[in-house]
Amino acid sequence: MVAGGQIDGRIPWPIIPLMRCRSSLLACLILASAIVLGADAAADDVVLFDLEGRRVDPWQVHPGAVSVFIFTATECPISNRYAPEIARIHRLFEPRGVAFWLVYADGRETPPGIRDHVESFGYPLAALRDPDHTLVSLTGVTVTPEVAVFDTDRSLRYRGRIDDRYVAFGKSRPRPTVRDLSGALDALLDGRPVAEAETMAIGCYIPPPAR
């Protein structure tokens, strides 16, 4: 199934209230502090696995780096069409110290199938599995492809689409007019706030964890 990736209550701390905070500067600062602390605490509980079944802490692999998690799936046509763009963004930002990860959150996908997928689409990124949805729950992503960007303090700074190429399911532009992921990375690397912390991603629903 395909839909826009809107907040559905799973994200553990709200981006939207911070963006819409209007009452007072003090209230905004208090809310911002709570958001950052909540994200840091939850990041420590993320349990991801590599394709050999070993537990991986991505923040320990690349300490102090801006980290990009790109949620994908082997059978999602929209995700697969983004493979060249993902590779392009990786080429631009990996030399600047950004860490990239492909995340497969569908527990029914097997390591051999994921390996074939990575190879077939020429992904230059390391692949991780999130079968228990610990990272899905932390970030609040709902579809593939959808991205989550964490700053050097492990705080979530952007979540949403890679760009605005897809307007709706079955409706796309010939080329994107806004490159959201690239813009977010440029802002973080330049020490600027991300202009839009959340966007709606169009793609394939991430199924619930396999039981």
Treating both helix axes as pointing N-terminal to C-terminal, what angle do 180-189 and 83-93 enclose, rounded to 10 degrees?
Answer: 10
Tell me the two tokens of residue 48. 């991801």
Q: Are 43 and 151 in contact (CB under 8 A)?
A: no
| DSSP bridge partners of 153 | none
Domain assignment of residue 126, yes or no: yes
Q: Is residue 211 part of a domain?
A: no
What are residue 44's phi and psi, to 5 degrees? -70, -20
Task: Look at the chain and report how many structural domains it folds into.
Answer: 1
Mapped onto helix, strand or coil, the DSSP state of residue 137 is helix
Average pLDDT in the chain? 83
- Helix or strand holding residue 187 (H, E): helix 180-189
pLDDT given for residue 203 in this prediction: 95
Chain centre to alpha carbon of residue 43: 13
* Residue 177, burial from CB neighbour count under 10 angstroms (0-12, 13-18, 19+): exposed
- What pLDDT is stored for residue 169 in this prediction? 76
d(CA 211, CA 174): 40
Domain membership flag for residue 210? no
Total residue count of the chain as it appears in this document: 211
Residue 168 within a domain:
yes
Range among 32-36, 141-145, 169-173 with highest mean pLDDT value = 141-145
pLDDT of residue 15: 33
List the beta bridge partners of residue 75. Answer: none
| Percent of the chain topping pLDDT 90 | 72
Half-sphere exposure of 79 (CA within 13 A, CB side): 24
Within a domain: 1: no
Flag whether pLDDT at 118 surpasses 60: yes
Res. 123: pLDDT tops 60 = yes
Helices (H), 47-179: 58-61, 77-81, 83-93, 111-120, 134-139
Q: What is the pLDDT of residue 4?
A: 43
Confidence (pTM): 0.80
- How large is the average pLDDT for residues 138-149? 97
pLDDT digits (tens, 9 = 90+) for 175-184: 999 999 999 9
Range of the domain at 58: 6-205
Q: Does any domain span residue 62? A: yes
Q: Is residue 85 part of a domain?
A: yes
Span 14-36, pLDDT tens digits: 332 333 333 333 333 323 333 33
Q: State how far the Cα of 181 lies from the Cα of 200, in Å rounded to an integer.
A: 12
**Is 45 inside any structural domain?**
yes
Q: What is the CATH number of the domain that holds 98?
A: 3.40.30.10
pLDDT at 42: 57
